Amino acid sequence: MPQDPDDWRADWGLAGIDIRNYFSLNYTYDLPFARNMTGAAGKVIAGWQINGILTLAGGTPITILSGFNRSRNGASGTQITDRPDLLPGFSNNPVKGVSKGCPGVPAGTKLGTPDMYFDLCAFALPEAGTYGNLGRNTVIGPGLANFDFALVKNISFLESRSIQFRAEAFNLFNHPSFNRPGALQEGVKLFNPFGERIPTAATIRSTLTDSRQIQFGLKFTF
């Protein structure tokens, strides 16, 4: 739903699935040492392989919402799409630096962290009965950085039989890639019906990826 059914241009903005930068590298590399070695030593030392996937991506856009029907246009429930005003001198994507402070948010609070991802103090309630000037999907959520890695050993014997051992680590460096604040589809609601800022509105409570996972596998081919 648009914020103002009579002004659809005010909802011009990024698509909800917009990811501005995305890089994915999928690789497999046969380790070159001991390729010509024979005998039992060759079976142990040769035939090793590494592979994995590196993923780096930007975040998806988030719409900042007032949280209740400030415009008094009669919308209710999920139909309420009122957005706040962007205060002068603030970025519409205030996720870097520190907060200037406002009621409920101490000045100097670091931004871009799970505790305070964006600056709540950059936004204010518009006058009752009016729409806010903030655009749709202006805040960009956290990005993704993930590295999966596998070490593989192939052992061949006879003509048609082989054994493959795999040691795999997902999110090898145990790097936390944080989710976005607020509900995925509804955006972030900044104020309660009394017009008070919700201190936890910019808090992130989950991650996009799991913590490091390690598994081992053994495969016999015949």
pLDDT tens track for 114-169: 999 999 999 999 999 999 999 999 999 999 999 999 999 988 777 788 889 999 99
Gap between the Cα atoms of 120 and 99, Å rounded: 8
**How much is the pLDDT for 211?**
95
Residue 10, SS3? helix
- Do the beta carbons of residue 189 and residue 198 sit within 8 Å? yes
Q: How confident is the model at residue 217 (pLDDT cuts 50, 70, 90)?
A: very high
Query: Where along the chain do its domains lie?
Result: 8-221
Query: Tell me: the pLDDT tens digits for 63-106?
Result: 999 999 999 998 888 888 999 999 999 999 999 999 999 988 99
CA distance 105 to 122: 11
Considering only the C-alpha atoms of the chain, give the largest distance between any 2 of them, rounded to a whole number of Å: 84
Confidence at 45, pLDDT banded by 50, 70, 90: confident
Going from the C-alpha of 43 to that of each of 96, 104, 196, 215, the distances in angstroms are 54, 65, 69, 23
Looking at every residue in the chain, the average pLDDT score rounds to: 91
As to burial, measured by CB atoms within 10 angstroms (0-12 exposed, 13-18 middle, 19+ buried), residue 93 is middle
Neighbours of 110 (CB within 10 A): 11
Could you tell me which of 141, 215, 208, 216 has the C-alpha nearest to residue 175?
208
